[in-house]
């Protein structure tokens, strides 16, 4: 029976053998992409390259990518939903296309040298065509030539066989999806791949990225035709192992054992099945998020982490675990994943410390909050906006948790009212922050690219004017403004701000070419003055230079010449935490 470790190893080996280079497993927090909170697919960190920028490792890539999807976090606990999961992917950046991609997938799945899946168990779907793009007869033809019987090739519309997050701009295209027949009886005459009854489980998705969706909703053909495939590790092995759900695979065994020990039970009672699954899922997600530097906060990524940790604590309580337990469980997660993710062990002390702090905070208020919830529910049979806000403000209940408790008890919760209440209190609405960032691909608009180059100049200008010890602590760019965090222990004076602006505007006036070189990490460390190096061992990296003024390790994209930037202005400079300042600036 194939294990998850074996699947990952074989996948990388197969595509390496076929000329692919292994690329790093990127951080769960996207670099230079303000449109999404988390990496939610293996292709996500590759967007600039899918749009044509050369990738330092070439045109055929493969990896195992950690992903986090929070859009359906409330469904975690049913058979196949996980918020955190690993995705296997192989990519062609303007290299091979359908005629190589489909046969490779079929060979990997069915050859006895590789997964050896019974061919009769597989069926596929292809894009049926519409006014935006034509019917994918080419993929269907390739499947037929490989021996896939015609009756197991299904043509489905855009909502099933097209990839590119809804509403977002960026690279997208028709896909062909491969399904594994679990062997159970069809749910009816209409049952086919795409049906949710559990007979057909999707195991692989090959996207043929031929289009770029523009911000006015058009699909323009990309100059570079790409392939983007994705295979969910947990889902695929659970299907192949004949399990009914992802939690029955070997990945979760050490966690289940640990939870039984913590809850002091021999078996998990049926009514606690959902709770144990949520605890396992959320602990994995929290461990990996903390390892990537996210800390519990009330906004953005930190809010999602907080809600995940608090959700896990509440479900732990439901299982009778009253003491702090996340640190022990997180250690088990680190143990499972450390071989391929050495950064987990390196960050162990930090991860456990944050979990301990957050558990302490929430444990202090959880029981009282639950009591308050019950009192209100008994009396009013609903949680109105003010109640939900009180539970948030005084007892630390993220709105999603209040809603979940409401569902369990058939008590409606006024979520829109809660968000209004949040706004009134001048807080950033965590829920809407999450939604705003919920989907979307890298924002590659021209303005964003300009601001990205301006950020590099600003970074260096701060070192010239303030201190050579300035380092970047964070950066977030939209098409309207840049935001740059750096270490500095006091407010900048007006003169200093003007001086920094002057340096940046001078570099813009000098019309300096922006150049890029690809090199090893070791070389890059010698050349680049600035970089957030992360865990990219043994990989080729890109260094962007602005004349001899600035050199940064960075994945781009950037403008070609600083003269394209216009006029730089600092809008605001303020403190965001002890010793860290934030500049907001625009190009005009």
Residues contributing to the site for ligand SER (CB under 6 A): 41-43, 89, 163, 205, 207, 228-230
Using the minimum distance from each CB to ligand SER, give the nearer residue, 50 or 587.
50
Give the angle subtended at the CA of 278 by the CAs of 274 and 283, to the nearest 5°. Answer: 155
Using the minimum distance from each CB to ligand SER, give the nearer residue, 443 or 573.
443
23 Rama sector, left if φ>0, alpha if ψ -120 to 50, beta otherwise: beta
**Beta carbon of residue 584, minimum distance to ligand SER (angstroms, whole number):** 33
**Beta carbon of residue 484, minimum distance to ligand SER (angstroms, whole number):** 31
H-type alpha helices, 319-438: 326-337, 342-346, 348-380, 385-395, 399-408, 415-424, 430-436
Burial (CB < 10 A; 0-12, 13-18, 19+), residue 132, is: middle
Using the minimum distance from each CB to ligand SER, give the nearer residue, 123 or 229.
229
Check: CB of residue 315 under 8 Å from CB of residue 279. yes
Using the minimum distance from each CB to ligand SER, give the nearer residue, 65 or 505.
65
Give the angle subtended at the CA of 230 by the CAs of 224 and 231, to the nearest 5°. Answer: 160
**Beta carbon of residue 93, minimum distance to ligand SER (angstroms, whole number):** 14
* H or E, element range at 178: strand 170-181
Using the minimum distance from each CB to ligand SER, give the nearer residue, 171 or 369.
171
Cα Dmax for the chain: 75
Q: 351 Cβ partners below 8 Å, 6+ apart?
A: 287, 290, 291, 330, 334, 344
Using the minimum distance from each CB to ligand SER, give the nearer residue, 49 or 484.
49
Check: CB of residue 154 under 8 Å from CB of residue 98. no
State the pairing for strand pair 200-213/580-587.
unpaired
Torsions phi, psi of 451, nearest 5?
Answer: -65, -30
**Beta carbon of residue 231, minimum distance to ligand SER (angstroms, whole number):** 8
**Beta carbon of residue 229, minimum distance to ligand SER (angstroms, whole number):** 5
**Beta carbon of residue 228, minimum distance to ligand SER (angstroms, whole number):** 5
**Beta carbon of residue 514, minimum distance to ligand SER (angstroms, whole number):** 30
Helix count (H) and strand count (E) of the chain? 19, 16
**Beta carbon of residue 436, minimum distance to ligand SER (angstroms, whole number):** 21
Residue 13 CB neighbour total at 10 angstroms: 14
Using the minimum distance from each CB to ligand SER, give the nearer residue, 41 or 385.
41
Using the minimum distance from each CB to ligand SER, give the nearer residue, 38 or 303.
38
**Beta carbon of residue 303, minimum distance to ligand SER (angstroms, whole number):** 24
Torsions phi, psi of 577, nearest 5?
Answer: -165, 180
Using the minimum distance from each CB to ligand SER, give the nearer residue, 63 or 429.
63
CA distances from 107 to 26, 143, 236, 263 (A): 28, 12, 16, 45
Residue nearest to ligand SER (CB): 230
């Amino acid at each position: 029976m194939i294990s998850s470790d074996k699947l990952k190893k074989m996948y990388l080996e197969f595509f390496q053998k076929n000329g692919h280079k292994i690329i790093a497993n990127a951080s769960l927090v996207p670099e230079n992409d303000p449109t999404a909170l988390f990496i939610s697919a293996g292709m996500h960190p590759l967007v600039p390259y899918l749009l044509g920028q050369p990738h330092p490792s070439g045109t055929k890539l493969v990896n195992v990518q950690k992903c986090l999807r929070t859009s359906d976090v409330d469904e975690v606990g049913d058979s196949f939903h996980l918020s955190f999961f690993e995705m296997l992917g192989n990519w062609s950046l303007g290299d091979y296309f359908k005629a190589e991609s489909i046969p490779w997938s079929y060979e990997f799945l069915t050859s006895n040298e590789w997964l050896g899946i019974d061919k009769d168990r597989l069926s596929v779907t292809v894009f049926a065509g519409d006014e935006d793009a034509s019917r994918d007869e080419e993929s269907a033809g390739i499947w037929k030539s490989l021996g896939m019987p015609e009756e197991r090739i299904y043509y489905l519309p855009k909502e099933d066989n097209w990839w590119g997050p809804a509403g977002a701009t960026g690279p997208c295209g028709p896909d062909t999806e491969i399904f594994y027949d679990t062997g159970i009886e069809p749910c009816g005459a209409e049952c086919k791949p795409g049906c949710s009854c559990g007979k057909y489980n999707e195991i692989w998705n090959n996207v043929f990225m031929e289009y770029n969706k523009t911000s006015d909703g058009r699909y323009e053909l990309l100059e570079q035709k790409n392939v983007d495939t994705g295979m969910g590790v947990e889902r695929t092995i659970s299907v192949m192992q004949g399990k009914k759900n992802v939690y029955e695979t070997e990945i979760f065994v050490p966690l289940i054992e640990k939870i039984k020990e913590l809850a002091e039970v021999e078996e998990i009672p049926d009514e606690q099945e959902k709770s144990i699954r949520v605890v396992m899922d959320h602990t994995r997600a929290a461990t990996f998020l903390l390892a990537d530097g996210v800390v519990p906060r009330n906004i953005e990524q930190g809010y999602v982490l907080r809600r995940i940790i608090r959700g896990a604590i509440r479900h732990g309580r439901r299982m009778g675990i009253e003491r702090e337990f996340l640190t022990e469980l997180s250690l088990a997660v680190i143990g499972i994943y450390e071989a391929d993710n050495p950064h987990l062990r390196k960050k162990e002390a930090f991860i456990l410390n944050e979990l301990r702090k957050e558990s302490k905070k929430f444990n202090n208020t959880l029981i009282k909050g639950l009591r308050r919830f019950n009192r209100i529910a008994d009396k009013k049979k609903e949680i109105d906006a003010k109640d939900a806000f009180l539970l948030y403000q005084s007892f630390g209940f993220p709105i999603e948790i209040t809603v979940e408790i409401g569902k369990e008890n058939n008590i409606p919760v006024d979520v829109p009212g809660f968000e209004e209440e949040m706004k009134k209190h001048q807080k950033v609405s965590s829920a809407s922050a999450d939604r705003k960032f919920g989907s979307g691909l890298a924002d590659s608009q021209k303005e964003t690219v300009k601001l990205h180059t301006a950020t590099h100049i600003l970074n260096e200008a701060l070192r010239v004017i303030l201190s050579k010890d300035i380092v970047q602590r964070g950066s977030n760019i939209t098409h309207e403004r840049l935001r740059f965090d750096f270490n500095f222990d006091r407010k900048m004076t007006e003169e200093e701000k003007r001086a920094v602006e002057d340096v940046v505007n001078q570099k813009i006036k000098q019309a300096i070419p922006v150049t890029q070189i690809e090199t090893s990490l070791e070389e890059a460390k010698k050349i680049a003055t600035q970089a957030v190096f992360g865990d990219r061992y043994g990989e080729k990296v890109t260094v962007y230079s602005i004349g001899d003024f600035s050199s940064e390790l960075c994945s781009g994209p950037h403008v070609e010449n600083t003269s394209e930037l216009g006029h730089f202005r600092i809008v605001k400079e303020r403190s965001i935490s002890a010793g860290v300042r934030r500049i907001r600036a625009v190009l005009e």
